[in-house]
Amino acid sequence: MKAMEKMDRKKKAGIRGWRQRLMVFLLCLLPLMFAATGTALAAEATLAWDPSTGSVAGYKLYYGLAS
């Protein structure tokens, strides 16, 4: 019976160690994920167009950060 109790304790300790390693891994991965999203969301856009040869009266130009 004592051998079974020892095995149960070792098994529980092994599970606990596995969970701790997983938590440490996830906690180390979390800042990397946040850092990656900041650079992924940053973007630069360059726009170009050919000017109209006709009259441009009546056109409206909208600009700003909203889309």
Residue 54 inside a domain? The answer is no
What's the CA gap between 48 and 40, in Å, rounded?
24
Q: What is the DSSP letter of 8?
A: H
Domain span at 20: 1-37
Question: Is 44 inside any structural domain?
Answer: no
Give domain status of residue 32, yes or no.
Answer: yes
For the whole model, what pTM was predicted? 0.35
pLDDT at 49: 84
Question: Is the residue at 29 inside a domain?
Answer: yes
Q: Which residue in 15, 18, 13, 19 sits closest to 5, CA to CA?
A: 13
pLDDT per residue as tens digits for the range 2-60: 666 666 666 666 667 888 888 999 999 888 887 776 665 667 888 898 887 888 788 88
23 located within any domain: yes
Count: domains in the chain: 1
3-state SS class at 63: coil
